[in-house]
Amino acid sequence: MRIASIRQGVVPISSAIANAYIDFSKMTASVVAITIEDGAGRSATGYGFNSNGRYAQPGLLAERFVPRLEACDAAVLTAADGTLNVAAAWAAMMKNEKPGGHGDRSVAVGVLDMALWDAAAKLEGKPLWRLLADRFRGGEADDAAWVYAAGGYYYPGKGVDALVEEMKRYLGLGYTTVKMKIGGAPGTPIKDALREDVARIEAVLKLLGNDGSRLAVDVNGRFGLHAALAYGAALQPFALRWYEEPLDPLDYATHATLAEHYAPPLATGENLFSMLDARNLIRHGGLRPDRDILQFDPALSYGLVEYLRTLEMLEQHGWSARRCVPHGGHQFALNIAVGLGLGGNESYPEVFAPFGGFATDTPVQDGRIRMPDAPGIGFERKNDLWAVLKDL
Ligand code: MG
């Protein structure tokens, strides 16, 4: 095994949308292509990108992580069974990095990790979900993954009617469960914002046959305890699928307090970027393994090598992998969901193009999606994304 080349680029992932915390008008993503030769005449190019919600990391990639990866020789890159040793390449990238302070570093490493897994699966001639099922789950893979349509963003001039129309389009695409943003009305006193959001929620629930289990709401970490409790009291009668990121992602003790007062499912974790941060959430966040949802995004949090550690940690703490529904709406997490038996995956049918969404020829049916039988992660089967990646 040798690395023949690593290319990187920065592409816009911009959009006029906003959630309760940020707008996405200047959002970018790093993309990488890694070509690996196996020494026996085969070569494969793996691709990676950094999900959404964090910016491109060209500096960290160029100065630290790409040179460390390029310096890996065949002894590092080749596993005992002759396959690409992604875990050893990952360890080489992380040499001389101190613990803690994950932030943007975990994003840069995650981009390269994704490309390495794509290449590893291509060299073995398998889809990544199949490689993962064979290697970590005794060959058992799910037939399909549950996916839900995430949207309901705030954008200028968007009213309740436009929100309901958007959700209708998702149902028309085959989704059965949808998610909308709440808590985003700018500068509005909490009791007015709450009244407005309850009206938005009721309008969407009407479309969903008043079945709360088909609607999730997302605060994007904006509330303090007072607002989270006020909203929680108002949301509880709707029995929603989940109440997402009500609080700052690192404020574990306050999550524990909220969980004492809000009985239906909570969801969080998309802004925790390491196994150790995830473990602190599990230890101190008061979350309940029989109902709550964990949304760690493998692309943002050092990639799949680290995500495997997170799944192992969860098992040790009595949590099923089925409680995990990763953030990001990308094909990498979808492969992981099917191959490792997660609870499902997020999907963005209308935003974060071309990175959001799945293979062009695999429609969503009854809220579930099947995986194509293409080698690697399957980027070549997603036309709009492949148009960007192939130019690298
Ligand atoms: Mg979210």
Q: What is residue 289's DSSP assignment?
A: T
Q: Which amino acid is at 26?
A: K
- CATH class of the domain whose range is 136-389: alpha beta
Q: Across the strands, what pairs with 94?
A: none
How many A from CA of 245 to the centre of ligand 1?
6
Q: 97-156: per-residue pLDDT in tens?
A: 999 988 899 999 999 999 999 999 999 999 999 999 999 999 999 999 999 999 998 877
Q: 255-313: per-residue pLDDT in tens?
A: 999 999 999 999 999 999 999 999 999 999 999 999 999 999 999 999 999 999 999 99
- Cα angle 275, 18, 193; round to 5: 100
How many A from CA of 381 to the centre of ligand 1?
26
Q: 381-392: per-residue pLDDT in tens?
A: 999 999 989 988
Positions of E strands within the chain? 2-12, 28-37, 43-49, 144-150, 178-181, 215-218, 242-244, 266-268, 293-294, 345-347, 368-370
Cα–Cα distance for residue pair 355/178, rounded to 1 Å: 19
In percent, the amount of the chain with pLDDT more than 90 equals: 85
How many A from CA of 269 to the centre of ligand 1?
9
Residue-wise burial string across 278-295, b where 16 or more C-beta atoms lie within 10 A, e elsewhere: bbebbeebbbeeeebbbb
Same fold? 2-125, 136-389: no
What are 339's two structure tokens? 């191959």
Asked if 255 and 229 count as a contact pair (C-beta separation under 8 A), the reply is no
In this structure, how many other beta carbons lie within 10 angstroms of the beta carbon of residue 66? 22
Residue 15 banded pLDDT, cuts 50, 70, 90:
low
How many A from CA of 224 to the centre of ligand 1?
16
State the pLDDT at residue 53.
87
* Residues whose CB falls within 8 Å of the CB of residue 2, separated by 6 or more in sequence, listed in order: 36, 37, 39, 73, 74, 77
Cα–Cα distance for residue pair 33/8, rounded to 1 Å: 6
Cα–Cα distance for residue pair 238/244, rounded to 1 Å: 14
How many A from CA of 328 to the centre of ligand 1?
9
Q: Is the pLDDT of residue 25 over 90?
A: no
Q: What is the CA radius of gyration of the chain?
A: 20
Q: What is residue 388's DSSP assignment?
A: H
How many A from CA of 327 to the centre of ligand 1?
7
Q: 309-342: per-residue pLDDT in tens?
A: 999 999 999 999 999 999 999 999 999 999 999 9
State the pLDDT at residue 153.
87
State the pLDDT at residue 51.
86
Cα dist from 192 to 187, 189, 237, 245, whole Å = 10, 6, 19, 20
**Residue ranges of the domains in the chain?**
2-125, 136-389
**172 burial type by CB count under 10 A (0-12 exposed, 13-18 middle, 19+ buried):** exposed
How many A from CA of 273 to the centre of ligand 1?
14
Asked if 44 and 122 count as a contact pair (C-beta separation under 8 A), the reply is yes
Residue 12 banded pLDDT, cuts 50, 70, 90:
confident
How many A from CA of 135 to the centre of ligand 1?
30
Does the domain at 2-125 match CATH 3.40.50.720? Answer given as no
Cα–Cα distance for residue pair 346/354, rounded to 1 Å: 15
Distance separating the N- and C-terminal Cα atoms of the chain: 22
Q: Which residues are catalytic?
A: 181, 327
How many A from CA of 333 to the centre of ligand 1?
15
* Residues whose CB falls within 8 Å of the CB of residue 200, separated by 6 or more in sequence, listed in order: 152, 160, 163, 180, 182
Mean pLDDT for all residues in the chain = 95
Q: Specify the residue for token string 């997170």.
A: 310
Q: Does residue 4 sit in helix, strand or coil?
A: strand
β-pairing verdict for 215-218 and 242-244 = parallel
State the pLDDT at residue 31.
96
In this structure, how many other beta carbons lie within 10 angstroms of the beta carbon of residue 181? 24
How many A from CA of 179 to the centre of ligand 1?
9
How many A from CA of 244 to the centre of ligand 1?
6
Cα–Cα distance for residue pair 128/379, rounded to 1 Å: 11
Cα–Cα distance for residue pair 29/19, rounded to 1 Å: 18
State the pLDDT at residue 272.
97
Cα–Cα distance for residue pair 288/133, rounded to 1 Å: 27
How many A from CA of 115 to the centre of ligand 1?
24
